[in-house]
């Protein structure tokens, strides 16, 4: 059971308020990276807070997006779906006083080119389910 249905390009479909996972793989293991995930609407405005996880020198992180988080992805009443976009950034924050430089790189997912936008197609909520305050 999963709330997100991915295609081969990294785009996915979901229903407003469903929970799911975005798994980021192939992270370099040489350092502890901070992985950020952000979602924008069609006007390139952030929707919800950016999420982040530390890699702990592992090559995979798993972002769990709760129903409360995806409930912010709304569909206007006059539309069947709404499109949102997501991106992942891999950052290394050098320790203070270190000779190393901090790095910040947007991840290109699933062999796409740098101009590719990862889309989220959201369908309207069908069942209210658990009240948000209890989720």
Domain boundaries, the chain: 5-126
Instruction: Give residues with Cβ within 8 angstroms of 104, minimum separation 6.
Output: 89, 90, 91
Give pairs for 41-50: CB < 8 Å, separation 24+.
Answer: 41/82, 41/84, 41/85, 42/82, 42/83, 42/84, 42/85, 44/85, 47/72, 47/73, 47/84, 48/72
The pLDDT, as a whole number, for residue 107 is 80
Q: Which residues make beta-bridge pairs with 22?
A: 63
In tens, the pLDDT along 27-61 reads: 999 999 999 999 999 999 999 999 999 999 999 99
What CATH number does the domain located at 5-126 have? 2.60.40.2030
Angstrom distance (rounded) from CA 48 to CA 66: 12
Check whether 125 has a pLDDT greater than 90. Answer: no
The pLDDT, as a whole number, for residue 51 is 97
The pLDDT, as a whole number, for residue 127 is 73
The pLDDT, as a whole number, for residue 6 is 95
In tens, the pLDDT along 56-115 reads: 999 999 999 999 999 999 999 999 999 999 999 999 999 999 899 999 888 877 776 666
């Amino acid at each position: 059971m999963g709330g997100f249905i991915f295609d081969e390009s990294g785009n996915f479909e979901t229903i407003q308020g469903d929970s799911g996972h975005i798994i980021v793989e192939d992270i370099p293991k040489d350092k502890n990276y901070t992985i950020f995930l952000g979602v924008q609407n069609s006007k390139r405005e952030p929707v919800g807070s950016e999420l982040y996880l530390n890699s702990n020198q592992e090559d995979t992180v798993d972002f769990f997006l709760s129903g409360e988080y995806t409930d912010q992805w709304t569909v206007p009443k006059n539309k069947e779906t709404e499109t949102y976009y997501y991106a992942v950034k891999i950052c290394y924050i050098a320790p203070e006083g270190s000779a190393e430089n901090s790095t910040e790189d947007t991840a290109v997912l699933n062999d796409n080119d740098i101009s590719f936008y990862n889309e989220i197609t959201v369908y309207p909520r069908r069942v209210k389910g658990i009240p948000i305050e209890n989720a």
